[in-house]
Protein backbone atom coordinates (compact mmCIF):
# COMPACT_ATOMS: atom_id res chain seq x y z
CA UNK A 1 0.00 0.00 0.00
CA UNK A 2 1.44 3.38 -1.03
CA UNK A 3 0.88 6.24 1.37
CA UNK A 4 1.49 9.86 0.50
CA UNK A 5 2.13 12.42 3.22
CA UNK A 6 0.13 15.64 3.05
CA UNK A 7 2.12 18.32 4.86
CA UNK A 8 -0.51 20.95 5.76
CA UNK A 9 -2.64 18.54 7.80
CA UNK A 10 0.06 16.03 8.74
CA UNK A 11 -1.95 12.95 7.84
CA UNK A 12 -1.60 10.26 5.20
CA UNK A 13 -3.87 9.76 2.19
CA UNK A 14 -4.04 7.21 -0.58
CA UNK A 15 -2.70 8.50 -3.90
CA UNK A 16 -4.74 8.71 -7.07
CA UNK A 17 -5.73 5.22 -8.19
CA UNK A 18 -7.04 5.88 -11.71
CA UNK A 19 -6.87 8.67 -14.32
CA UNK A 20 -8.76 8.58 -17.62
CA UNK A 21 -9.12 11.21 -20.37
CA UNK A 22 -12.09 11.03 -22.75
CA UNK A 23 -12.25 14.01 -25.11
CA UNK A 24 -12.61 17.03 -22.81
CA UNK A 25 -13.38 15.04 -19.64
CA UNK A 26 -10.97 13.73 -17.02
CA UNK A 27 -12.09 10.97 -14.65
CA UNK A 28 -10.06 10.65 -11.46
CA UNK A 29 -10.51 8.03 -8.73
CA UNK A 30 -8.84 8.55 -5.36
CA UNK A 31 -9.63 7.91 -1.69
CA UNK A 32 -12.41 10.54 -1.80
CA UNK A 33 -14.24 8.79 -4.65
CA UNK A 34 -14.65 9.36 -8.38
CA UNK A 35 -14.51 12.85 -9.89
CA UNK A 36 -15.57 13.71 -13.44
CA UNK A 37 -14.04 17.04 -14.48
CA UNK A 38 -15.04 18.69 -17.78
CA UNK A 39 -12.71 21.11 -19.56
CA UNK A 40 -13.31 23.46 -22.47
CA UNK A 41 -10.94 21.53 -24.73
CA UNK A 42 -9.29 18.14 -25.08
CA UNK A 43 -5.89 19.81 -24.82
CA UNK A 44 -6.77 21.30 -21.41
CA UNK A 45 -8.02 17.91 -20.20
CA UNK A 46 -4.83 16.16 -21.31
CA UNK A 47 -2.64 18.84 -19.70
CA UNK A 48 -4.52 18.45 -16.41
CA UNK A 49 -4.13 14.65 -16.48
CA UNK A 50 -0.40 15.03 -17.21
CA UNK A 51 -0.01 17.42 -14.26
CA UNK A 52 -1.69 14.88 -11.98
CA UNK A 53 0.66 12.15 -13.19
CA UNK A 54 3.69 14.40 -12.61
CA UNK A 55 2.56 15.07 -9.03
CA UNK A 56 2.39 11.32 -8.42
CA UNK A 57 6.05 10.90 -9.38
CA UNK A 58 7.31 12.95 -6.41
Query: Residues near 31 by Cβ (< 8 Å), separated by ≥ 6?
Result: 13, 14, 17
Q: Where are the domains of the chain?
A: 15-56
The per-residue pLDDT for 15 is: 76
The per-residue pLDDT for 56 is: 72
In angstroms, rounded to a whole number, what is the distance separating the alpha carbons of residues 17 and 15? 6
- Per-10-residue mean pLDDT for the chain, 58 residues long? 50 73 92 91 94 76
The per-residue pLDDT for 40 is: 95
Amino acid sequence: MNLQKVEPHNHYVMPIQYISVNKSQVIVRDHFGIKNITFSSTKDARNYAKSLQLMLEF
